[in-house]
Every structure is written in structure tokens, then in C-alpha cells.
Amino acid sequence: MQKLFTAGQIGNVKIKNRIFMAPMGITGESDGSYNLSGINYFEARAKGGAGLIITGANIASTKYEDRPCNELSGFHQVERLAMLIERCHAYDAKVCVQLTPGLGRMVFTDPFTPPYSASECQSFWFPELKCKPLSVEDIHYLTDKVGYSATLAKAAGADCVEVHAYGGYLLDQFHSTLWNKRTDAYGGSLENRLRFTLEIVEAIRKNCGKDFPIIVKFTARHGVEGGRELPEGVEMARIFEAAGVDALHVDVGCYEAWYKAITTVYSDFAHQADAFTAVKNAVKLPVLGHGKLFDPALAEQLLADNRLDYIGLAHELLADPDWPNKVKEGRTYDITPCIGCNECLYAGFSGKHYYCAVNPLCYAEKDYQLPRPCPKLQRSVLVVGGGPGGMEAALAAADRGFAVELWEKSDKLGGNLWAAGLPTFKHDVVRLIDYMRTQISSRCITVRLNHEATAEEIIAGGFDKVILAAGSDAIMPPIPGIENAVVSSDVLTGKVKAGKNVVVVGGGLVGCEAAAYLKESAEKVTIVEMLPDILLTVAHSRNNDQHLRDMLAERKVGVVTNARVTNIAKDSLTYEQNGQSQTIACDQVVVAAGYRSNNALESALEGKVSDLTVVGDAVAPRKILTAIHEAYHAIRVMQ
């Protein structure tokens, strides 16, 4: 990794390597300043080896909208920011503070007050609200406030600042004719539409001096009808360069195509490469980019090919803060992979702090550490089930110094992750299986495959702790002719060959993913769903939802909703919709009707073992996050 770990420079700031933590919002104190959990969170990524840390957006004023994340509008907020920067500097990581005048039509916290924007346009999260245009006086006020906010960042010890001008947020609303219909000096030509951002750059220069580096993060391509196309994005880059900014941070997408901005499990590697490459070829400034670049070899190749100057990692650094150090040391097998589930994003937009499905320590770096191993307190732990919860429990118990056995009834570890991860567009989940199995093999854990646990054997074992992580089994509903159908997991794992004309019963997450996968080989695939729409029962981030829906549409998967299946024959499926019976000819019916907990051992063991905990799908079929977190904490709190 010759290029990845060479030093770089932005303005007069030297950066020890070419890896930066991309900006992500976090929670803060009630006054908008950073809290201690947030400071520990950033410190962990600096300790992990990132050369540059870019904070999430710090709003310069709440005059026009609620605070979205952190706020940097007054001197009292400098103290905590300074603490954050000082701790990151201890690991030779530079800190860039991202500043924003606001979110505009993207305000997601207030469903009652029309937000401000460049022009009258629709609020994204609350479509019934029409945005109010900012006046010229409002624009000048916000410009001055961002300039002042930059002085506060500099006073706190920041190495540079980044202007938050991307992703369909307020400044990008001014940049784009999609939302900017103004006829004054801030609308019309591209130069006019960029005026607000350029005046902010000017205000920062005036307040902080010509030697204080400024990065502008902007969207080079929206990827939606009527949005910005790449040629205009390249022209914007040239204008920013002429304005004297020190680096450009290139982004793609907006909330109407959120998955083009924020990677999902369905995303291709380097899916923003066309945009940052085009900008790199057009300017002489350092270019920062991201978009699923966490494969070390890919990151190195992009740098070697001069397609960008700095590799951005966002959610991957939530999954594993030590990615840079592990890559530098050649320990890529030890990297916890991001699986693109966006549970982090879903939590943030639900009013919580960031969570990471595969890293229970995310945003709890000091609070949730495992107790140090103590030989005098060694315990024996049995884990039943080798899915994600079972593997996590076994790893945590081994790391606490306990004697651990892991029993799995099948011939391999992974559980239902295999069905989830084997579709071609979900191999990030297989990477998680590979990682966890590698970690299991590196610990002193006794693994017994092809071993179905019985209550009698468990009780006889005399274990100090028993973790039941037996997962869940697919439901086959009592539909006449159900014996003619196959369960989705058997098709996804290749146990059953896919048909050419397939009907999928169930439009939840599993059914939709199965349908998208089956269409790669089938001539026709149709989803039949009881509810008024697909994915209604799924609690996941909107960008994942958008991406999956678009994938189904692109692959021309048929969807029938409000339909109750009444019969399955060898060559057809019959359903009732609006009181009418309809029949679809097919050569295969695949059932994705949900899962049922495999928890039969719980009642047989209650009161008969010294300490029993049920985790993951064995409690109720849920998510990878719940399985891993429940398992980790069950071991963490053991006395």
C-alpha cells in the first residue's frame, strides 16, 4: 500500500496518509456542543489511523431552522470542540470542521413549520409543507454567521474547515435549478447560483486569513431527473478552484436518490468514481472522494491511477475504526466489514445516536468495553447456534477469558446470514460471515458442527452461562397446495434451482431481495403481497428502501399488492384481489412469508441452568444488529 500511506497536503496542512473519515452527523449536548461520547467516538477513529477527520455538519445559526446535529454559533461551544480536536491531534490526525448555513428543504425534525430554501419548493420529509425563500438579507446574515463559525473552529484548533454545500442541502438548493427559481443575483446563471457559497468562502477567508485551508464539499451529479449532470459539476469545480479554495470534496446524489450519495448493501464498489475522476481531471486542487472504497486494493489502485487524492471512509469506520492501521499492518483479514445495512443512518434519523450493526462499541467506545480478563473469574460459556448472535457471543466470551463452546446443528457457521448474503448484490454480508469465522478460528473456542443441542446435554454440561442463539426458521403458511412451493432460503442458497417463471409470495425484505436475485436468471418474476405495498413491514433506512425499489423496477419485477394467495398448484398460483380471483401461470412458487423463532430449548432450560440468556432471532425474528448487540451485551454484563 505505497500510495495509501504517503503524506499529502491540503493548503499548508500536512496529512500523514491519504485516508480521511468522511463527515457524518452525530448527537450533541442540548446547546449543540459536542458531548463526551462524541469526542470519544472521533478519538477512536483518530487512534485507528485516519489521517484526516472531517466532522459532521455544525450549523452556524438556528435562526431559520432547528439544529440538525451540532452547532457552532457561540464561544461557549468552542471548549468541547477543542477537546475533540486535541484528542485527535494526539494521534497525529488532522481535524476539519464542517460548517453549514442549514439544511433548507431537508429539515427533518419539524413537521409543522415550513422550512426555508432558495425558492418556494416542496419540503422533502414533509411534502405538504412549501418552503419559504430566503431573502437577500437572510443570505447575508447566514454568510456572516458561517464566517464567524469558522473563527470559532479555528480558535478550537481546527486544521481547516469544510463548507457543507452538497447533497441537496441548503447551499446545494441554491446551486441547482431543480430547487432554485430565483431571478435575483442568487439565481439564474451557474455563477449566480454559486454566489451564496462563494460569499461564504470569502467570509471565511476574511475572518480566518488566507492561510487557513478551506475545503468545499459539493455534488457533481445528482442522478435524478432534472438534477445536475456531471458537466455542470465539473464546471462548478473550476469555479471553486478559481475562487481559491484549497481542496474539493466530491459527492454524488441527493435525497431523491439517497443511495447514490450514501452507500447501501446493494451498491457497487467505487460507485461515485466517475464523478471524482472527472473533477480530478479538470482541476489542480486535491480531490477527496468516497463511495464504497473500503477494499484496500481498490483504494490503492484509485490513488495510483491519479483518480483522486484522498480516500474517504464513512460507515466502514463505524464498523471498524482501526481500518487504516490494520491495512497498514497487513491485517486485512481482521477488518470488520461494513455490510451496508445503514442501521447507523436509520438510528440517526430516528432521533438516536449512531449505532453500527456489526460494532456494538460504536458511539460507546469507552462505555461498552468488555471487562478485562481475570483468571480468578473464569467462567464456562456454552453458545447454542452459530449465526451472527452466536458467533458474537462466543467471541466476546473468549475475549473475556472464558472457556467457550459453540454448538451448531448444521455443517457450517453463519446461520441465516448465508441466505441473506449469497445474492450477487449482497456479498457484503458474506464478508461478515468470513470475518466472523476467521475471528472464531483465531480464538480458543471449541466449535462443534453438526451438533444439535438437547436440553439434557446442556444441563449435564454444568455451564456457568448458556446463550441460546438458535435463530429462526422460515414460515410456510397454511395455503392450499403449499407443498408445491419452495422456501426462499433454499433458492437463495442454491439448494433448489431457480425457475424461469417465478412467483414470490411475500413482499417484505426477504421476498423483494429474492425476487431481484431470481430475475438475474428467470425470464419473469412476480411478487404477490397481501398489503397495499411492498416493504411496508420493513424498518430500514430510506436509502436502502429506494435502492431496492429501483432495483426491482430496473429488473422489471412484477408486483401485485392487496392480494391474498388462495391456492398454489404445480404450474400456477391463484390469489384474490378486490373480491376477484386471479391466476398466474408459473413454473415455481417461492415463499418468503417471514420467520419463526427457534426457541424450543428456552422453556426446557429455564431454572435448570445457572444463567440463561436468549438472543437474536431466537427471541423474535429481527435484524443482524439486534442479534450481535444482544449477544455482545449478554456477555459484557456477566458477573
Where does the pLDDT of residue 158 fall: very low under 50, low under 70, confident under 90, or very high at 90 and above?
very high
φ, ψ of residue 483 in degrees (nearest 5): -65, -15
Distance CA 84, CA 532 (A): 48
Q: What pLDDT score does 349 carry?
A: 87
Of 215, 247, 280, 310, nearest in space to 4 by CA: 310
**Per-position DSSP letters for 599-617, written without gaps between them:** -HHHHHHTTTSS-EEE-GG
Query: Tell me: the pLDDT tens digits for 233-242?
Result: 999 999 999 9
Distance CA 490, CA 508 (A): 17
Distance CA 326, CA 314 (A): 16
DSSP at 33: P
Instruction: Output the CA torsion sign for 562, 566, 572, 578.
Output: negative
Q: What is the mean pLDDT of the chain?
A: 96
Instruction: Output the CA torsion sign for 96, 101, 102, 104.
Output: negative
**Dihedral-angle region of residue 33 (phi above 0 means left; psi in -120 to 50 means alpha; beta otherwise):** beta
Q: What pLDDT score does 376 carry?
A: 73
172 within 8 A of 259, measured Cβ to Cβ: no
Of 275, 208, 197, nearest in space to 240 by CA: 197
Distance (Å) of CA 422 to CA 428, 488, 491, 550, 592: 9, 12, 10, 20, 16
φ, ψ of residue 591 in degrees (nearest 5): -100, 125
575 within 8 A of 536, measured Cβ to Cβ: no
* pLDDT(354) > 90: no
Of 598, 585, 572, 586, nearest in space to 479 by CA: 572
Query: Tell me: the pLDDT tens digits for 57-108?
Result: 999 999 999 888 899 999 999 999 999 999 999 999 999 999 999 999 999 9
CA-based angle 579:582:585, to the nearest 5?
165
H helices of 26-77, in order, are 36-47
Distance CA 242, CA 148 (A): 23
Q: What pLDDT score does 359 carry?
A: 98
Catalytic residue among 91, 166, 169, 346: 169
DSSP at 369: P
Catalytic (active site) residue 259: no
Terminal Cα-to-Cα distance of the chain (whole angstroms): 44
Strand 445-448 relative to strand 94-100: parallel, antiparallel, unpaired? Answer: unpaired
- Largest Cα–Cα separation, the chain: 81
The DSSP H or E segment spanning 581 is strand 580-585
H helices of 168-322, in order, are 170-175, 190-193, 195-208, 230-242, 258-261, 273-282, 296-304, 315-319
**Per-position DSSP letters for 118-135, written without gaps between them:** SSS-B-SS-TTPBPEEPP
Set of cell numbers at residue 177: 435549478
Q: What pLDDT score does 200 carry?
A: 98
Of 635, 79, 62, nearest in space to 371 by CA: 635
Distance CA 73, CA 324 (A): 33
* pLDDT(564) > 80: yes
Please compute Rg for the chain using Cα positions: 26
Residue with cell 420529509: 125
- Kindly give, in sequence order, each residue whose CB lies less than 8 Å from that of residue 202, ignoring residues fewer than 6 positions away: 243
Query: Tell me: the pLDDT tens digits for 300-328?
Result: 999 999 999 999 999 999 999 999 999 99
Residue with cell 484528542: 87
pTM (two decimals):
0.95
448 within 8 A of 552, measured Cβ to Cβ: no
Query: How many C-beta neighbours within 10 Å does residue 198 have?
Result: 20
The DSSP H or E segment spanning 405 is strand 403-407
**Per-position DSSP letters for 67-110, written without gaps between them:** --SEE--SGGGHHHHHHHHHHHHTTT-EEEEEEES--GGG--S-
φ, ψ of residue 509 in degrees (nearest 5): -60, -50
Which domains does the chain possess?
Answer: 8-348 (3.20.20.70), 375-472+596-636 (3.40.50.720), 482-593 (3.50.50.60)
Residue type present at position 461: G
Q: What pLDDT score does 374 carry?
A: 77
Residue type present at position 570: K
Of 346, 324, 351, nearest in space to 335 by CA: 324
Q: What pLDDT score does 2 carry?
A: 85
Query: Tell me: the pLDDT tens digits for 254-284?
Result: 999 999 999 999 999 999 999 999 999 999 9
Distance CA 543, CA 582 (A): 34
φ, ψ of residue 100 in degrees (nearest 5): -135, 145
Distance CA 616, CA 385 (A): 10
DSSP at 257: G
DSSP at 425: G
288 within 8 A of 312, measured Cβ to Cβ: yes
When mean pLDDT is compared across 36-45, 61-70, 279-288, 362-371, the lowest value belongs to: 61-70
Of 508, 544, 169, 507, nearest in space to 346 by CA: 544
* pLDDT(1) > 70: no
Of 514, 500, 480, nearest in space to 591 by CA: 514
φ, ψ of residue 217 in degrees (nearest 5): -95, 120
Q: What percent of the chain has pLDDT over 70?
A: 100
Set of cell numbers at residue 157: 484548533
